[in-house]
Amino acid sequence: MADEKVETPEEGEVKEKKSGSKKFIIIIAIAAVIALGGGFFTYTQLIARGKEGESHKKEEAKKTALVPLDPFVVNLAEQGRFLKVTMQLELADATNQALATEKVPQFRDAIITLISSKSAEALSSPEGKIQIKDELLLRLNQTAGKDIFKNIYFTEFVMQ
């Protein structure tokens, strides 16, 4: 038994290990509480903003309206080329619905004048369609006297 050495820790070393592990556990617990609290706060703020954004989008969707126009058959700038187009005009605010319906003849005139000055080649590409929409929006808002339209939708676009 003389060869066997049994090391016994001193009482001071045992107390240091216990108090060190307690401090470590307390620090981890505090960090976890802070992380969970911050996560919860962030999550609730994102949900609140999301609901606020959804209600704003729903409100905005209710305020917009479409003004359908009868189909147009227009001679293009090139001889013997025609365009049949049907479109709907999106209002920026539904309160302008009366003004838009009142000025439909002026809007149709502006549309016919602009489209008839374009060639089939200029209108056939996607870029050409986007450009004509931008030009139409500008002309229609000028005709209305204020910016009442925010978009134009082509529902039919046939060239011959």
pLDDT tens track for 38-47: 878 888 887 7
Q: Are residues 85 and 24 in the same domain?
A: no
Q: Are residues 31 and 45 in the same domain?
A: yes
Question: What confidence score (pLDDT) does residue 93 get?
Answer: 86
Q: Are residues 30 and 81 in the same domain?
A: no
Question: What confidence score (pLDDT) does residue 29 get?
Answer: 86
Q: Is residue 143 part of a domain?
A: yes
Q: Are residues 52 and 113 in the same domain?
A: no
Closest CA to 63 of 141, 154, 148: 148
pLDDT tens track for 67-122: 999 999 999 988 889 999 999 999 988 888 888 899 999 999 999 999 999 999 98
Q: Is residue 37 part of a domain?
A: yes
Q: Is residue 2 part of a domain?
A: no
Segment 59-70 shows an average pLDDT of 75
Asked if residue 152 has pLDDT above 70, the reply is yes
Asked if residue 1 has pLDDT above 70, the reply is no
Least confident segment among 9-13, 16-20, 30-34: 9-13
Q: Are residues 42 and 54 in the same domain?
A: yes
Helices (H), the chain: 11-63, 97-102, 104-116, 120-124, 126-144
The pLDDT-based confidence of 62 (bands split at 50, 70, 90) is low
Least confident segment among 5-9, 53-57, 61-65, 85-89: 5-9
Segment 27-48 shows an average pLDDT of 82
Q: Is residue 92 part of a domain?
A: yes
Q: Supply the range of the domain harboring residue 154.
A: 65-159
Q: Are residues 69 and 84 in the same domain?
A: yes
Counting the structural domains of the chain, the total is 2
Q: Is residue 3 part of a domain?
A: no
Question: What confidence score (pLDDT) does residue 3 get?
Answer: 55
Question: What confidence score (pLDDT) does residue 82 get?
Answer: 92
Domain boundary among 63, 89, 105: 63
Q: Are residues 46 and 74 in the same domain?
A: no
Q: Are residues 92 and 50 in the same domain?
A: no
CB 76 within 8 A of CB 115: yes
Q: Are residues 37 and 87 in the same domain?
A: no
CB 71 within 8 A of CB 83: no
